[in-house]
Amino acid sequence: MLLSNMNREWWKEAVVYQIYPRSFQDSNGDGIGDLRGIINRLDYIESLGIDVVWLNPIYKSPNHDNGYDISDYRDIMSEFGDMADFDELLKGMHERGIKVVMDLVVNHCSSEHYWFQQAIQSRDNPYYDYFHWWPAENGTPPERWSFFAPDASAWRFNEATNSYYLHYFAVEQPDLNWENPKVRAEIYDMMHFWFKKGIDGFRMDVITFISKHDGYPVFEGVHGEAMIDVYAQGPRLHEYLHEMNREVLQHYDIMTVAEGPGTHINNIHDLVDETRQELNMNYHFEHVELGLNARKMVNSDHRDLVKYKKILCDWAVEFDHAGWGTTWHTNHDFPRQVSWFGDDSDEHREASSKLLSTMLLTMRGTPYYYMGDEIGMTNARFESIEDYNDLMTINWYKLTEQEGGDTQALLDSHKLSGRDNARTPIQWDSSTNAGFTQGKPWLKVTPNYPTINVANQENDPKSPLNYFRSLTALRKNHLSLIYGAFKVYLLEDPNIFSYTRTLDDETLLILLNYSSDNQTVCLDSELLSSDVKLNNYDDLVVASDHYQLKPWQAVIIKLA
């Protein structure tokens, strides 16, 4: 591939760093992370060499789903600060050359939002049509599965209107009716408000769900979580996104990324190809959902490297000619990368966490890197349901209990897969509560913080933290890692992930040993070189026809 043929964009070259504000840094001792806390850590954020910060929702919210239930889209959550703090934060980021992407949560709002409070009063209320309803005189509504409702039903009866409202997520998260042009106009107007403030983009929460099927038909033979794919096939999805692009997005130099449940290779181009004029990027869930059954019950597939590689490779080549992808392992909904895909034992934690970061920053697509992964934070592994805050785990626990199911098995699985694993406070140092708060943290700090923390790693040139900084710097200096053609080798090897990135006359080989054992990697002579650009060990054994890799060794090698 030639750079001169590439459609260069700043958001393709960026590394995005995700901040979950609630858990980043508390500044006033109430145990909840806040905007001032982020402001106080701006120099740290800059030191990582990242380009964009994505902030999880910071809008006014009663916090049933930690900010994903918004009661006022133009105001800041009181626990996080106020608009003056936000303006200062945005300015501080921009002064450091960092762009800011906000979460756009418009599939649903909070049940405390003024629109919903009005809507539930009567069918004649002008806001009734802002939501989706099933009139009770039509009988029982057709099955719709809810992610977070205690009874898993996405319909909830409202007495005053004698109708059921739709909520794909919690009861407190009623779905907005995009079919109503007034709703779309309100949303576009709100987006302009934030862009005029100077934000640099939106990560769009479950945006693939915004178009509902006319008349709420029965989805024959589709039950439970299988509905996710159907929800993402709403008939007017692309019409709405194209309209949003015309009305709002095209007027600014910004980036957009869809959170895309239900996106697959067979439908992704409609969403992200340039000619479609919808969104820039999407993140799919296929690799992170390997090994997850319903209710996030875990099976061994998440350790199946061949399946994982095939998914990632298919997505990497899919964007050879149009569209653009993303790479990610952890976010606020998925466990810590080192605990899920790596080996978080004392022996291999640092090496495996560096390896996983290497994959994310050298694979094709814009990396979305989750806070705390740069120091190799691990899963919290809560023992008891009392320790959980997340309504998803709590409601599924209750549901399992009601069904007389195995609650211990659910807890055991959620130690690995539960959302709270990645939501524990950032481990800044070895002082009380890991330096996150002077008060009582809203979610327990993971007990390994005296060992795994930022302060320890600052002073250690070989720490995961400093390795991550080297990676972001290397990526900036090698456009092959961004625009280069992708080619995989040894696809069927169950332990090794190896691929090249080639742009103009540069080829980099990335060798990753996803195992806790030594591995011999036999490759053709043109793939053997000792020009090492980055290595998570001190040395690399290159023989005449193979490389010898240590447990979780990751190397980036320039080929002659």
The residues annotated with a catalytic role in the active site are 205, 259
Interface pick for ligand GLC out of 34, 51, 65, 175 (rule CB under 6 A): 65
If contact means CB under 5 to 8 A according to the sort of partner, which of ligand GLC, Ca ion, none does residue 30 touch? Ca ion
Give the x/- contact pattern for ligand GLC in 431-460, rule: CB under 6 A.
------------------------------
What, of ligand GLC, Ca ion, none, does residue 32 touch, CB below 5 to 8 Å by kind?
A: Ca ion
For residue 330, how far is the Cα from the chain centroid?
6
Regarding 228 and contact with ligand GLC (CB under 6 A), the answer is no
| Alpha carbons 305 and 266: distance in angstroms, whole number | 23
Choose from ligand GLC, Ca ion, none: what does 169 bind? Cβ within 5-8 Å by kind.
Answer: ligand GLC
Q: For residues 165 and 130, is the Cβ–Cβ distance under 8 A? A: no
Comparing CB distances to Ca ion, the nearer of 33 and 141 is 33
What are the E-state strand segments in 314-380?
326-327, 366-370
Distance of alpha carbon 551 from alpha carbon 513, whole angstroms:
6
Q: How far apart are CA 169 and CA 149, in angstroms?
A: 7
- Closest contact distance (angstroms) between CB of 64 and ligand GLC is 10
Site string for ligand GLC, 251-270 (x = CB under 6 A): --------x-----------
| Alpha carbon distance 77, 449 (integer Å) | 28
**Size of the residue set binding ligand GLC (CB under 6 A):** 9
What lies within 8 Å, CB to CB, of 215 at 6+ separation is: none
Burial (CB < 10 A; 0-12, 13-18, 19+), residue 124, is: exposed
333 binds ligand GLC (CB under 6 A): yes
> Cβ closer to ligand GLC: 206 or 445?
206
Report the nearest approach of Ca ion to the CB of residue 42 (Å). 17
Q: Which does 88 bind (CB under 5 to 8 A by kind): ligand GLC, Ca ion, none?
A: none
Q: Is 326 helix (H, G, I), strand (E, B) or coil?
A: strand
Sign of the Cα torsion 244, 178, 90, 96 reads: negative
- Which residues have a Cβ under 8 Å from the Cβ of 289 and sit 6 or more positions away? none
The least distance separating Ca ion from the CB of residue 27, rounded to whole angstroms, comes to 6
DSSP state for residue 525 in the 8-state scheme: G
Question: What is the C-alpha separation between 482 and 266, in angstroms, rounded?
Answer: 24
Look at residue 506 and give the partner it binds from Ca ion, ligand GLC, none, a contact being a CB closer than 5 to 8 Å depending on partner kind: none
Residue nearest to ligand GLC (CB): 68
Binding at 15: pick from ligand GLC, Ca ion, none (beta carbon under 5-8 Å per type): none
Residue 502 binding target from ligand GLC, Ca ion, none, CB below 5 to 8 Å by type: none
**Nearest approach, Cβ of residue 85 and Ca ion (Å):** 11
| Count of residues engaged in binding Ca ion, rule: CB under 5 A | 5
Q: Which does 65 bind (CB under 5 to 8 A by kind): Ca ion, ligand GLC, none?
A: ligand GLC
Ramachandran area for residue 119 (φ above 0: left; ψ -120 to 50: alpha; else beta)? alpha
Per CB under 6 A, the list member of 206, 297, 411, 482 interacting with ligand GLC is 206
Alpha helices by DSSP H, listed for 363-449, are 391-402, 407-417
- Residue of 11, 59, 68, 219 interacting with ligand GLC (CB under 6 A): 68
Q: How far is the CB of 392 from ligand GLC (least distance, A)?
A: 7
Least CB distance to Ca ion at residue 382 (A): 22
- The answer to whether 132 and 175 are in contact (CB under 8 A) is yes
Q: Closer to ligand GLC at the Cβ: 102 or 508?
A: 102
Does residue 403 sit in helix, strand or coil? coil
Q: What span, in angstroms and rounded, lies between the C-alpha atoms of 466 and 472?
A: 10
- Answer with the entry of ligand GLC, Ca ion, none that 363 interacts with (C-beta below 5 to 8 A by kind): none
The least distance separating ligand GLC from the CB of residue 340, rounded to whole angstroms, comes to 17
Work out how close the CB of 65 gets to ligand GLC at its nearest, in angstroms, rounded to a whole number. 5
Q: What are the angstrom distances between the C-alpha of 466 and each of 48, 66, 374, 463? A: 8, 31, 8, 5
Please give the single-letter amino acid code of residue 495: N
Q: Tokens at residue 54, please? A: 């994505």
For residues 367 and 484, which CB has a smaller minimum distance to ligand GLC in the complex?
367
**461: Cβ contacts below 8 Å, ≥ 6 apart:** none
Other C-beta atoms lying within 10 Å of the C-beta of residue 221: 6
Q: Residue 29: which region, alpha, beta or left (left: phi > 0; alpha: psi -120 to 50)?
A: left
Pairing of strands 366-370, 326-327: parallel
Q: Using CB distances below 5 to 8 A depending on partner kind, what does residue 133 bind out of Ca ion, ligand GLC, none?
A: none
Report d(CA 238, CA 278) in Å as an integer: 7
Q: Does 229 bind Ca ion (CB under 5 A)?
A: no
**Residues of this chain, 6-65, that bind Ca ion according to CB under 5 A:** 26, 28, 30, 32, 34
Q: Is 186 in the site for ligand GLC (CB under 6 A)?
A: no
Q: How far is the CB of 439 from Ca ion (least distance, A)?
A: 8
Q: Which is nearer to ligand GLC, 65 or 343 (CB)?
A: 65
Is 169 a residue that touches ligand GLC (CB under 6 A)? Answer: yes
Nearest CB to ligand GLC, comparing residues 205 and 350: 205
State how far the Cα of 370 lies from the Cα of 463, in Å rounded to an integer. Answer: 17
10 Å CB burial of residue 255 (0-12, 13-18, 19+) is buried
In angstroms, the CA 64 to CA 547 distance is 51
Q: Which is nearer to ligand GLC, 13 or 229 (CB)?
A: 229
16 vs 452 by CB, closer to ligand GLC: 16
With respect to ligand GLC, which residue has the nearer C-beta, 286 or 333?
A: 333
Q: Which residues from 88-147 bind ligand GLC, rule CB under 6 A?
A: 105
CB closer to Ca ion, 191 vs 434: 434
Least Å distance between CB 118 and ligand GLC? 22
> For binding to ligand GLC (CB under 6 A), which residues are involved?
65, 68, 105, 169, 205-206, 259, 332-333
> For binding to Ca ion (CB under 5 A), which residues are involved?
26, 28, 30, 32, 34
